[in-house]
Structure formats: C-alpha cells, structure tokens
Amino acid sequence: MENTNIIPKIVKVEKGRIKVRNGDFYLYSFMISTNSTVDIHYAFTSGLEQGALGRVIPCRMNSACITSEVFGCEKCDCKWQLDEAIKYICESKLGIITYHPSHEGLGHGIFTKLKSFNLVDEINTKYVDLGCEKEDIRDFSPVLSILKYFSIKRVILLGNNLNKKYYLEKKGINVEYMENLIYTGKNEITEKYILNKGKLPEHIALKRNEK
C-alpha cells in the first residue's frame, strides 16, 4: 500500500528534445523509487523550461496502454485521449503529460489485462471478475514526484477520472478545473466501452454519451 506521508524519491532523470507532428517537446525519463521498488516514469512537456512556479499547467496523468497506444486496439479510448491531450498542449504551448508504464491494466499489468481480453468479445471484463482484490491498484504517488520536480502546484487536469482529481487535491495540488477528453469517434466497439465506463461514478462526465 502507498505510504501517504512520503513522496517517492527520484533516483535519476534524463531529458531529450523531440519533435512531434504539431510541435517540439521535451521527454523526461525518471527513475523513481517507491516502496522498495524502482520503476521508470516519463514526463512529456512543453513550455516548462522557463519554470512553472505560479503558473497553471495543463496536466494529464496517463497510464500506459500498450494495446491501444502501440498496436491500435479499439477496445478503449486510451490512445484517443492521449492524442487529444498532446493536441491540447501543442495548442496551449504549455503543459505536461506524466506517463506511467507500471499502470498498464489499472496497475494489474499486461498479463492480467490480456487475460481479461479473452473473456469477452467487445468490452473488457472487470479485474475483480478475474479474482483481483481491487479493480484499480495504480499508485499515483510518482506523479507527485514529477510535479514537484517541475515546481507545479496548480493544474488544469486533462481527462475524465474524478479519482485523479481527488487524489491530487488531497496531496496539495490545486486542480483549477478538469478539461474533459470525451471520445468523439465513431468506432462502435470503443463507443460501447465508453458507455460502460460512464456507469462508474468517477467517470460521470461520460454519461452524456449514453443512448
């Protein structure tokens, strides 16, 4: 369980300047020690070289989804949301996306995630249906380490998950407001996923997609 009193330690950091379709970004790689384990986390940034102190920074907390982001799986809207966040930050010329490979499958990992894919045809089953004790076991504390590194204390949160908003606020980060990223594509499988996700209280913003 996450130690609520300790911000994980950044052991190592490196950055490189990269070009994407809509602009220039810096990609930071962080080695972060959390509860005796060390994981790699990333920050994709724009406009932060001049410092963030006192500024409201667009921020997305992005959990890795290799199935959609790399291989184009349409069972979810993860890649769509990531692309929209990058577009938003490019237009704003300011922002950060924290990216977390260890959050694959709500923290259960790729093996459990792929197992869930085998049990249904169109919508992922719940992880608790596979015998997992909790549905979501992601540890968001590395986000705090990254935000502290950039002196970010005020954000516009890009996304739909209220639990992320509540987490940041509980940890002293001021969330000015949430900029929802609500799927506007036409893929039927993805739309069914969105309708199912909108039934969760933390994703109330998606309810308007119900028919």
Find, among 97, 81, 1, the residue nearest to 47 by Cα.
Answer: 97
Q: Could you give the CA distance from residue 188 to residue 51 in angstroms, rounded to a whole number?
A: 42
Annotated catalytic residue within 136, 139, 154, 208 = 136
Residue 60 annotated to the active site: no
Dihedral sign for Cα atoms in the order 180, 40, 5, 137: positive
138 is catalytic: yes
Q: CA dist 105 to 9, 53, 137, 169, 179, Å?
A: 24, 33, 9, 24, 23
Please tell me the distance from the alpha carbon of residue 167 to that of residue 88, in angstroms, as a whole number: 23
Residue 45 β-bridge partners: 26, 96
- Report the first-to-last Cα separation within the chain, whole angstroms: 39
Please give the positions annotated as active site: 136, 138
